[in-house]
Structure 1
Amino acid sequence: MATAYLSLGSNSGDRLQHLKGAIRNIEKSEKISIEKISSVYETQPVGFENQRWFLNLALEVQTSFEPLPLLEYLLAIEDQMGRKREERWGPRNIDADILFYDDRIMDSDRLTIPHPRMHQRRFILMPLAQIAPQLLHPALKKSAGELLESCEDKSTVILYSEKI
């Protein structure tokens, strides 16, 4: 079993229910066990800012999926939950990203691990550092806590709920 870290986000409809639904769908697989769930954070949109704020959280999972099948599983959950991919950085009812997969470094046309912009995004680092502050980025050689401390992104990230 591999340890993977995932990021979930939602900024349309009932955001909290979308996050809960994504977690329920992730748990349906016999190949994934959720080990830790961060608090839920309300976060300022990045990229396309004229939209509703997001709710974000991070998960630590144990999985027997390899990285690409894990990505396919997450994309299928997004599709099943009605995710529309009409606008880059646009509104979405659910977004699921793989942040880390063990200490693997991978760069393909479909998937880059670790997530290529995570160290620049406070909305990813805040929940990740909450559940895994010592987790080491295999390329940058900094922990999640150190990445959060040095992150230049000053967008607003507010604790929304301690538990999902």
Structure 2
Amino acid sequence: MLRLLKRVERAAGRRGGSPWGPRTLDIDILDHKGLVKHWRRGRPRFARAGRRPLVLPHPWIDKRPFVLRPLLDIAPDWRHPVLKRTARELWRQAAGGRQGQVMRKL
């Protein structure tokens, strides 16, 4: 699945670049059947530089309102396999009662 998504990104014009930098398209796998991979003691385990393994569930679901808002719309009762909290609970924490905010105007 990851290889297929990487091909889709390349077909859309994505090329290399720096981690966490701007991208033409970025497709992340948030969860796959509750599989927990590359986590230890409730924290994601991976190196920040170079190639990183696929971490499941995605390590920053709970910190990204732009991910949680659509997740809340389609699966409010989805439960994070490591944190054991629902999308609804994660949204309340991440949004801090707000409906999201613009991080940077373009």
Matches within 5 A, 1:77-116: 77-107=8-38, 109-116=52-59
TM-score (norm 2): 0.74
For the residues of structure 2 that align with 1:87 and 1:132, how far apart are their CA atoms?
A: 32
Q: Deviations over 1:76-129 (max 9, x none)?
A: 110111102313222222110000101110127420000001101111101111
Q: Relative contact order (alpha carbons < 8 A, sep ≥ 6): 1 or 2 greater?
A: 1
**Percent identity over the alignment?**
38
**Structure 2 residue aligned with 1:146:** 89
Distance 2:35 2:18 in 1: 30
2:6 match: 75
- What secondary structure is seen at the aligned counterpart in 2 of 1:98? coil
1:156 counterpart letter in structure 2: Q
Aligned residue among 78, 85, 101 for 1:156: 101
| Alpha-carbon RMSD | 2.0
TM-score when normalising by structure 1: 0.49
